[in-house]
Amino acid sequence: MQVETPTILRKIVARKFEEINERKLHTSYADLEAAAADANIHNPSRGFAKSLRNKIHNGDAGVIAEIKKASPSKGVLRELFVPADIAKSYEKGGAACLSVLTDRDFFQGHEDYLVEARAACQLPVIRKDFIVDEYQVLEARSIGADCILLIAACLSGEKLRELDLMARDLGMDVLVEVHNRPELELALEYSSTELLGINNRDLHTFELSLEHTFELMGDIPSDRLIVTESGIHTKDDVSIMREKDIHAFLVGEAFMRAQEPGEKLAELFQA
């Protein structure tokens, strides 16, 4: 079963396949396998899901704080952009985990940003990119990623299963992202990952509504940890979610626009 792919996403994914082919000319799959194995010795996974769960067990929100310079819908979000400083600020502000955009062409991200951010703190990090090929999964572990994002809207069921199992074999956690019911069905059928993200933003129209989380959450088995993604800007947004028993959040823009991202995190998420 293949869920229909929206157009902006189709454009990004088409470019992604080109990019992967370019990279394969530069670094072979075998070299990347060796680099990932090496990372598992020198830079083992920090336990992404575990860190989220720990915060939630303590009664806090589990916040995945995003490091994102720009996005296709909003343009540049932050001019002064030093990933290591942002990472430290987030850690101080109480983040459970970091999310680092590594896509270059649409989000002005870079793999180096993930490496720099992770080296500057103790937090586990998710590689936020459009992952459609095994090559990118190896690449993620080789740069130190503790988790990868898999977006149901750009994967077939079989591909989702393959990439999910491969990531977990490499010691990473997997966050599977869905936006609507067909994608949720695909995610539940083809992946048993604990972390299920509901993106409140439609990657086709950029339309954003927190209602997406409430509409889909009822169909998610209780052994999964739901992460509400995108469009969280106010303390009210946070309390509405927590009242409905959603305790894990992925937040980017609201923090990126603040002078001190970690202070903004503490302000939004303090009880």
Burial of residue 259, with CB atoms counted within 10 A of its CB: 0-12 exposed, 13-18 middle, 19 or more buried? exposed
3-state class of 159 per DSSP? helix
User: Where in the sequence numbering do the catalytic residues fall?
Assistant: 66, 68, 128, 177, 199, 229-230
Interaction between residue 128 and ligand IGP (CB under 6 A): yes
Q: CB count, 10 Å around CB of 60?
A: 15
Interaction between residue 177 and ligand IGP (CB under 6 A): yes
Q: For ligand IGP, which residue of 229, 237, 238, 246 counts as binding (CB under 6 A)?
A: 229
Of 28 and 205, which has the nearer Cβ to ligand IGP?
Answer: 205
Q: Looking at residues 54 to 113 of the shown chain, list those that interact with ligand IGP (rule: CB under 6 A).
A: 66, 68
Of 216 and 232, which has the nearer Cβ to ligand IGP?
Answer: 232
- CA distance between the termini of the chain: 43
| Largest interatomic CA distance in the chain | 51
Using Cβ positions, the residue closest to ligand IGP within the complex turns out to be: 252
Structure tokens at 95: 């983040």
- Reduced DSSP (H G I as helix, E B as strand, rest coil) percent helix, strand, coil of the chain, to 5: 45, 20, 35
Interaction between residue 252 and ligand IGP (CB under 6 A): yes
Q: Yes or no: say if 146 and 50 are a contact pair by the CB < 8 Å rule.
A: no
Interaction between residue 230 and ligand IGP (CB under 6 A): yes
Of 39 and 230, which has the nearer Cβ to ligand IGP?
Answer: 230
Looking at 44-52, 55-63, 166-174, 249-257, which segment touches ligand IGP (CB under 6 A)? 249-257
Looking at 41-49, 152-160, 212-220, 229-237, which segment touches ligand IGP (CB under 6 A)? 229-237
- How far is residue 224 from each of residues 101, 187, 221, measured CA to CA in Å? 24, 11, 6
Interaction between residue 183 and ligand IGP (CB under 6 A): no
Binding site for ligand IGP (CB under 6 A): 66, 68, 128, 151, 177, 199, 229-232, 250-254
